Amino acid sequence: MISGFMLSAYSIVANDAIQTLGTFLSSNNKQPWWILWLFASTILTAIFFYAWWIADGDISYGRLTAFPLPNPFTWIYLIPPFALLILTNLGIPVSTTFLILTVFEPSNLNEMLIKSVFGYGLAFVVAVILYQLLSPMLEKGFISFQNQDIPVYWIVFQWGTTAFLWSQWLIQDLANIFVYLPRNLDLIGLTLCLLLMLTLHAIIFYQHGGKIEKIVTSKTNTQDIRSATLINLIYGFILLFFQQYSQMPMSTTWVFLGLLAGRELAIANNLQIRPFPETMMLILVDMGKATIGLGVSIILAFGLPWLARQIG
């Protein structure tokens, strides 16, 4: 259980968390890494202690109700975070919700998949509509004046929206990490988990996000603080909506990819910065990588129990 928690914590931070904080890192790449880490760590600490206080030690915000702790806890539950580490090192934006949680309760796959597909579609449609309206005025202006000094209020807005988005992501995805531990941690357990998470984030921030960060930086003008602010705000509100929609975990990766896909499509249509075929190829490559992760998740969810039975 402890090994699974440590493996999943590192792999999920390296994959999912960097997708969420990617625009923050890329648009603040001139800032010392430890300042960005300290900011994100403060929010992480607050979310940890708030969940622990209001939910009697349950850090997952109640999202593990349908995922009981296995008894006995066997080696098959260590394979998914190992697979996630490999896929992350290949730069593949995997849904950790599918890859980690499906092995614990395969019967929940259908409901998680439906919610995640809905999340991708909703994020895509919202992004297309908003950026179709905003990109001729805002994004075009951001790109035209990208070499000028950014007003201080935009920096304040961006850090504020990052705090909002980061908190919403943590509420959604902490379940993927804490599925390996008892549902009610004592204060000592909470403190040890928090120290581990802060250390892992320090490593990832020091590495400037790793390979998954390229998913963000390959998109149009995402290194501009103003553009990053809009992405954070839209993404955060979509995650907030799904918190109210149901307690079943979903793929925040798919929501993120849907948002970026809709944004790129609208910007390509309005500003012609990137050829339309190239834009479609970016969207399809991202979705193809996410689909690979889903396929691996299904294979592990149904193949590992079968393999354990054969060995046993």
Distance CA 245, CA 102 (A): 20
The residue with greater pLDDT, 27 or 198, is 198
227 touches 216 (CB < 8 A): no
pLDDT at residue 220, as a whole number: 58
Q: What is the per-residue pLDDT across 145-172, written as a single tens digit (0 to 9) for each?
A: 666 677 788 889 989 999 999 999 888 8
The residue with greater pLDDT, 268 or 219, is 268
DSSP string, the chain: -HHHHHHHHHHHIIIIIHHHHHHHHHHTTTS-HHHHHHHHHHHHHHHHHHHHHHTTT-TTTTTTTTSPPPSS--GGGGHHHHHHHHHHHTT----HIIIIIHHH-GGGHHHHHHHHHHHHHHHHHHHHHHHHHHIIIIIHHHHHTTTSPPPHHHHHHHHHHHHHHHHHHHHHHHHHHHTTS-SS--HHHHHHHHHHHHHHHHHHHHTTT-TTHHHHHTSTTTTSHHHHHHHHHHHHHHHHHHHHH-SS---HHHHHHHHHHHHHHHHHHHH-SS-HHHHHHHHHHHHHHHHHHHHHHHHHHHHHHHHHHHH-
The residue with greater pLDDT, 118 or 82, is 118
14 touches 204 (CB < 8 A): yes
pLDDT at residue 217, as a whole number: 56
pLDDT at residue 218, as a whole number: 60
pLDDT at residue 46, as a whole number: 94
Task: Please determine, for residue 19, whether its predicted confidence score (pLDDT) is greater than 80.
Answer: no
The residue with greater pLDDT, 220 or 64, is 64
pLDDT at residue 161, as a whole number: 92
The residue with greater pLDDT, 198 or 84, is 198
Q: Which of 46-50, 89-93, 211-215 has the highest mean pLDDT?
A: 46-50
pLDDT at residue 129, as a whole number: 93
pLDDT at residue 146, as a whole number: 65
